[in-house]
């Protein structure tokens, strides 16, 4: 019997050692060819830093509201209303990111790093042009935009400067999205992760200092949160851009890539326009939900803001697995291996549903304690708890559907998820939320139920379309 024990123990030890090595490689950055070898290992190498990157991005979503929550419901409502408009900026940034990530991944899969670098630079030029126009416009029109969403006079007095800074500094948001997406598409996920570590670290340190006026820092209230966040993002974006010119990376930008290349730019715009429309449809639906929610007053809106921030905190890391699947799909199609692309998607979808399902269960059980961290107002706390608890039931299917949707994008098929978003979010979710909230008298809870239902519907429809396989023939 003793002679057989090493035989059974050794494979387990070897498995643990292999897993730990994979984790170390993922965090340090791996030069593995993702078009060959174990799909499971490739997904882990990409997903671990991408999940951590998105987790850190989600920290942006909760750090401000954690500290601002100490300032009262009007301050939290200010953050919620401003973020509703920033979702449009996020949509445009994500749209460009989807386009450049798909092209970079395809070129890397085709073993053409030169065109991959050129594509990344063209996306940066496009993003800068858009950011300048929207940043100036948003800063000038900030109070009118807040009023458009139903902000009370008290919220306008509290949050106008906050909104001006956040909307005016959106160039940092767009640059972070575009450069990190280029790095992810090339397989340099660990670098993108470190960029978010830097940006978040700065934001977390500056937030309490500027909001509450700690030590020599001025007491700026909610305005301090805007300065802290924008500063962190700006420094992070500059660091990300510096990583593009290093010679040791998968994506190496040289002087010859800096000139404007209209043919490459047109390819990016073609993909990015439909992807941006896709993101705008999806995220603008949240603005519709905010507008319905604002009819129930600042406390309901503040509770919704807290609940959604915590939900985003959970969903963004799950989106990291979605991005890993998209990179695998793009590179596998570039290497003329669609079967590997499909197997990668189903494997990633199962992983994602399992992980987010556990998180959803924890949120259901501990929703009351979690939301109590962000507010002392009992009414706001009740709304936030209901939002978190109800929406969490849709987490597993959101995770599954998210991988499939992002895989369409990774293949360059951006119109399929665009059409799905329009039908599910605008023709179904918004009317359902209004129906449940008002005619059926469920109040804010009706909006939360609509969110959970839509998560599930989108997953089922996406899976059915994915099985048809038309995405495998997409030309990028």
Angle of helix 39-68 versus helix 222-243 axis, rounded to 10: 150
Angle of helix 189-212 versus helix 222-243 axis, rounded to 10: 160
The H or E element containing residue 155 is: helix 153-168
pLDDT of residue 10: 53
Question: Mean pLDDT throughout 379-399?
Answer: 93
Q: What percent of the chain has pLDDT over 90?
A: 55
pLDDT beyond 80 at 11 = no
Domain extents for the chain?
41-468
| pLDDT band per the 50, 70, 90 thresholds, residue 366 | very high
* C-alpha distances in Å from residue 407, one per residue of 30, 315, 414: 22, 17, 9
Its pTM stands at 0.81
| pLDDT band per the 50, 70, 90 thresholds, residue 5 | very low
pLDDT of residue 213: 93
Is there a contact between 304 and 290 (Cβ–Cβ < 8 Å)? yes
Whole-number Å distance between alpha carbons of 241 and 118 = 14
Least trusted range by pLDDT, from 9-13, 206-210, 332-336, 451-455: 9-13
Distance of CA 227 to the CA centre of its chain: 21
Distance of CA 44 to the CA centre of its chain: 19
pLDDT beyond 70 at 342 = yes
pLDDT tens digits along 262-295 = 988 999 999 988 988 888 887 778 778 888 998 8
Phi, psi at 377, each rounded to 5°: -80, 120
Distance of CA 140 to the CA centre of its chain: 27
Whole-number Å distance between alpha carbons of 86 and 68 = 17
pLDDT tens digits along 146-200 = 888 777 888 888 788 988 999 999 899 999 999 999 999 999 888 989 998 899 8
Question: Mean pLDDT throughout 341-368?
Answer: 94
Q: Is the dihedral of CA 331, 336, 340, 343 positive or negative?
A: positive
pLDDT beyond 90 at 26 = no
pLDDT beyond 80 at 339 = yes
pLDDT of residue 129: 92
| pLDDT band per the 50, 70, 90 thresholds, residue 18 | confident
Higher pLDDT, residue 269 or 84: 269
| pLDDT band per the 50, 70, 90 thresholds, residue 430 | very high
Least trusted range by pLDDT, from 60-64, 192-196, 384-388, 394-398: 60-64
Q: Is the dihedral of CA 391, 393, 394, 399 positive or negative?
A: positive
pLDDT of residue 340: 96
């Amino acid at each position: 019997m003793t002679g057989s024990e090493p035989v059974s123990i050794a494979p387990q030890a070897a498995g643990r050692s292999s897993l730990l090595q994979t984790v170390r490689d993922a965090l340090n950055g791996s030069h593995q060819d993702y078009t060959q070898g174990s799909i499971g290992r490739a997904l882990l190498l990409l997903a671990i830093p991408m999940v951590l990157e998105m987790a850190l991005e989600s920290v942006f979503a909760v750090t401000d509201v954690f500290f601002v929550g100490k300032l009262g419901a009007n301050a939290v409502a200010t953050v919620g209303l401003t973020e509703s408009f920033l979702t449009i900026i996020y949509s445009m940034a994500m749209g460009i990111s989807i386009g450049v990530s798909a092209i970079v991944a395809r070129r890397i899969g085709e073993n053409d790093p030169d065109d991959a670098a050129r594509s990344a630079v063209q996306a940066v030029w496009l993003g800068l042009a858009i950011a300048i126009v929207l940043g100036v416009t948003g800063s000038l029109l900030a109070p009118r935009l807040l009023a458009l969403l139903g902000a009370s006079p008290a919220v306008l007095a509290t949050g106008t400067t906050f909104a001006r800074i956040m909307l005016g500094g959106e160039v940092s948001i767009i640059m972070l999205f575009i450069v990190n997406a280029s790095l992810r598409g090339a397989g340099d996920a660990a670098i993108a992760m470190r960029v978010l570590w830097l940006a978040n670290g700065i934001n977390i340190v500056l937030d309490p200092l500027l909001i509450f006026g700690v030590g020599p820092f001025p007491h700026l209230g909610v305005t301090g949160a805007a300065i802290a966040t924008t500063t962190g993002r700006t420094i992070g974006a500059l660091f990300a851009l510096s990583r593009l010119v290093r010679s040791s990376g998968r994506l190496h930008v040289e002087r010859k890539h800096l000139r404007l290349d209209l043919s490459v730019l047109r390819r990016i715009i073609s993909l990015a326009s439909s992807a941006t429309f896709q993101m705008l449809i999806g995220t603008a639906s949240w603005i519709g939900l905010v507008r319905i929610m604002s009819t129930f007053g600042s406390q309901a809106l503040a509770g919704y803001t807290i609940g959604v921030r915590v939900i985003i905190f959970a969903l963004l890391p799950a989106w990291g697995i979605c991005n890993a699947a998209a990179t695998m799909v793009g590179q596998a199609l570039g290497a003329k291996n669609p079967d590997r692309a499909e197997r990668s998607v189903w494997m990633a979808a199962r992983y994602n549903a399992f992980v987010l399902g556990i998180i959803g269960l924890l949120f259901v059980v501990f929703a009351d304690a979690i939301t109590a961290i962000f507010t002392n107002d009992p009414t706001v706390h009740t709304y936030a708890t209901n939002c978190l608890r109800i929406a969490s039931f849709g987490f597993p299917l959101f995770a599954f559907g998210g991988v499939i949707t992002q895989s369409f994008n990774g293949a360059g098929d951006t119109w399929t998820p665009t059409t799905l978003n329009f039908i599910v979010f605008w023709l179904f979710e918004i009317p359902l939320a209004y129906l449940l909230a008002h005619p059926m008298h469920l109040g804010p809870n009706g909006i939360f139920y609509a969110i959970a239902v839509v998560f599930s519907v989108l997953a089922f429809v996406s899976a059915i379309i994915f099985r048809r396989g038309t995405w495998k023939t997409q030309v990028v």
